[in-house]
Each structure stands twice: as structure tokens, then as C-alpha cells.
Amino acid sequence: MQLIVKPMGYGDCCILRQGRALLIADCGSRTNRRGSARHGRSASAYAWAAIREELADAPVADLIITRFDPDRFNGFVHLKGPRAIQRVYLPYSLYQQRGEAAHALATLAITAPAGSWSWHAARDGAALLAKLPRVCGQVLLRRQGQTIRFAGQVISVLWPCVPDAEQLTLFDSEPAANACPQWTGADPDQSDLESAVRQAVEQVMPGGWDLCRQLMAAFQTCLECLAEDGAREAENCLPAAEALANAMEALLPVRAAVQAQAQRQPELAALLDRYTAARRLAWQNRLDESSLVCALDDRLLLTGDVDQEVLDELRRSGLLEQKYKAVQAPGHGARAMLLPAAGYLIVSNGYRKGWGVRAALVRAAAGRVVCTRAYKEAGCCEYMARRHCPKKCIRMGECFKLELGAEPRRRKKEN
């Protein structure tokens, strides 16, 4: 089995290849073709270009989306053709938090400024959910204790952790191997702020907030359908997907009117900025703590965007190996500093955020370091290579390839 790491800039894309079969773990970026860290279609097209030829040559392909974030999935919004993908794996927590997800994405679709993470999270999130029933056979949600099977290999899901009560809400044939307390994050009380935003939207366009509520309902309905029916046949969710696409389209005139009015009224602009910042922070924190963490025995560890607390919890639970052949650093290398030992450390690059954490990771790495550097945004990698690790960093070209082997590197001792 071969691991292929694509140069996403500020983003991630890891591919497992066995023969012509592919398992793609994330495909997203904030880096466009010119090497600038930006959101938008240019960034998603940049990510899509990295996997387009790989998919065209693969008769069987599965996807893993470790976190519902554009820099993890925006390349997938360009998928084309019926049944282009066999199975798509999502974190169970996205369904579990469907009410919060729908509320956050629908309101951010109105309040977030153009070009921001919040706006593209809402727009690309709706586009992805609306597209999945058209391009894949099954949508499967995964949580701790379950597995992902690919080419005769078993990938263990180590996170998110879900309590027993939540495990009974899905038509899911594979039970979790163990129960555990749910990892939660406290969201700020935004009721007064949201009430002010709602009144402002209604003043700009009467009935606009009703369209926002319709988008909330469409988001939630689509997530529920994908969770409950998508595991059997994703095509069953086509009506819900179409309703979501239509609801987003109906909201765009409201968004345009509100954003135009905000440019003329500084008070409204300040209100929208405060609400967007608070809603984004709460939603991003929830996404981070509930990312998928997956391990292919002792050969590969994918960590999504979890923070150090989650990794420490997994270590205390005995779910992490002492050493892996390759480890993908969480949060593009900017969220955790104490990682399992690895022969190869994969660090996302291409953006100034988190340079200090990345530099510390690279200095501490016992093995080689693979940076997903791209174009002008390679400054972080260049800095670390010059100052800290001139012999550790592997300069990536079109991609980095690593043979993982057909079996674990060492057999676990039987009790």
C-alpha cells in the first residue's frame, strides 16, 4: 500500500493507493494557484486539480472527510458524474451536532463578509452536502470503535467519542466497540446578539430571516437523510439535496442586500462582524474537537484538526501506538505539539498562522518532515529548513510517496 501526500499549501490531502483503488483522506486548501492564502473558488479548484487525474484512473475510490471545513473538503465540490465515488466517510459528530451546524452555517451565509472562511464554510458546505447524493454510492458516519475498510485493510477510527445514547439514533449496522463520555465545548450565549441581527435583516429585507430559517431546516434535513438513508443508498437523499441547494439559492438575494447595506452603515457592519466572529469561533471549536482521527495500525495516523487535549485523552486510553511510520500533524501542524513518534511527520504549510508550533514540531521530530508547501507560501518551510532542520525537511515536488507495506510493521503481542 502506498501513501501519497499532495502539495495543498494551507490544506491537506493524503491518498492511500492499493493497485488502482484509492482512499482519499481530505482534499481542501486555502491556497490558490498563485500561492496566496485565500478562500474561494480558486482555492477549491487548486485542491481539485491535485486529485482529478488520480480519480480519473481509479475504478474504485472512497473518501474520508475528517472535518467539515473548506480546507478539508473544498476540492470535493468539483466532483462530477454519477457514482464517481463508492463511499464517503464523515465524522459522526456532524450528524450529532446537526442542529448547531445548520444554525451556524445558515446564519453565517447572511452575516459573513465575502471572501471569509465563514462565508465559504456555509457556501461550500451546502454545495458539498447537495452534491454527495449525486456522486457517491453511500455516505457512512464513523465514531470511535468503528472501522473503515479499504482494499482488505482495516483502518481504526479513534475519534470522535460518542456516548451510548447517541449510538442508537442511526440506522448503522456496525456498533461501536466501547462507550465513552462525549467531548463537549461550551458555546457563548448569542441570543441577544442574534436577536439584533435578526431585526437588522428584517429591516433590510422583510421576510429575509424566514429564508434563513428555511436554509437551517434544509441543512438539518439533508444531514439527517444522509445519516439515516445514505448508508443504504445515497441516491435516496436527492430530494433533500435539491431542497438544500434551492434554499441556499433563495437566500443569496437576502445576503446581497444585507452586505450592501452594511457597506453604507458602519453600525450594521460592526454588528454583523461581532456576530460572525462569535458564531465562527463557537462553530470552529466544535469542529476541531470532533474531527475524525484514524489509524492504519502502526503505519499511518490521520489526526484531522483535533487539539492536544484529544490526543492526550487517546494516549491515556491506550489507543495510540508508540510510533507510526507516518503521522499527519493535526490542524495543519498548528494545533498540537506532543505527537506520537513517527518516521515521517506530515505538516501542512502555506500560511503564516501557527509558525511557532510548526517550528517546535519540526525541531522535536525524530524522523523526516514532509511539508505540503506550495508556491510563494513556502516561507514557513524555508524558515524551518534554514533555522532548525536543514536535513530533516523533504522538499515536495508534485507529491510525496511513501510505501507503507501490506501488513503492520510489527505484530501486537497477544494476551
Note the pLDDT tens digit of each residue in 3-22.
Answer: 999 888 778 899 999 998 99
User: Over 60: is that where the pLDDT of 185 sits?
Assistant: no
Mean pLDDT of 217-244: 93
pLDDT reported for residue 188: 42
Alpha carbons within 13 angstroms on the beta-carbon side of residue 181 total 6
User: Over 70: is that where the pLDDT of 72 sits?
Assistant: yes
Mean pLDDT of 155-174: 64
The C-alpha atoms of residue 342 and residue 327 are separated, in whole angstroms, by 6
pLDDT reported for residue 322: 83
DSSP for residue 75: G
Residue 371, classed as helix, strand or coil, is strand
pTM of the model: 0.88
Can you state the angle between helices 266-289 and 238-264, rounded to 10 degrees? 140
DSSP for residue 37: B
The C-alpha atoms of residue 162 and residue 388 are separated, in whole angstroms, by 40
Alpha helices in 136-237 (DSSP H): 164-167, 191-204, 208-228
Which element (helix H / strand E) includes 267?
Answer: helix 266-289
The C-alpha atoms of residue 360 and residue 11 are separated, in whole angstroms, by 19
Extended beta strands in 298-339, E state? 300-302, 323-328
* Maximum average pLDDT range among 36-40, 122-126, 383-387: 122-126
Which element (helix H / strand E) includes 346?
Answer: strand 341-347
Residue 348's pLDDT band (cuts 50, 70, 90): confident
Q: Among 71-75, 133-137, 258-262, 380-384, where is mean pLDDT lowest?
A: 380-384
CB-neighbour burial class of residue 246 (10 A; exposed 0-12, middle 13-18, buried 19+): middle
pLDDT reported for residue 134: 93
Which element (helix H / strand E) includes 90?
Answer: strand 85-91
Cis amide prior to 160 (ω within 30 degrees) = yes
pLDDT reported for residue 78: 92
Better-predicted residue by pLDDT, 9 or 246:
246
Q: Among 59-73, 270-284, 374-388, where is mean pLDDT lowest?
A: 374-388
User: Over 70: is that where the pLDDT of 375 sits?
Assistant: no
pLDDT reported for residue 391: 64
Q: What average pLDDT does the chain have?
A: 83
Q: Among 44-53, 295-304, 316-325, 384-393, where is mean pLDDT lowest?
A: 384-393
User: Over 50: is that where the pLDDT of 126 sits?
Assistant: yes
For 414, the grid coordinates are 497477544
* Maximum average pLDDT range among 50-64, 104-118, 182-196, 353-367: 104-118
pLDDT reported for residue 382: 55
**Chain centroid, CA 176 distance in Å:** 22
**Chain centroid, CA 326 distance in Å:** 20
For 269, the grid coordinates are 457592519
Residue 117, classed as helix, strand or coil, is helix
**Chain centroid, CA 306 distance in Å:** 11
The C-alpha atoms of residue 365 and residue 384 are separated, in whole angstroms, by 12
User: Over 90: is that where the pLDDT of 212 sits?
Assistant: yes
For 367, the grid coordinates are 524522523
Cα–Cα distances in angstroms (integers) from residue 45 to residues 23, 25, 26, 29, in the given order: 20, 17, 14, 9
Is residue 162 within 8 Å of residue 144, measured between CB atoms? yes
The C-alpha atoms of residue 92 and residue 88 are separated, in whole angstroms, by 12
The C-alpha atoms of residue 187 and residue 173 are separated, in whole angstroms, by 32
Please report, rounded to a whole number, the percentage of residues in the chain having pLDDT higher than 90: 54
DSSP for residue 322: S
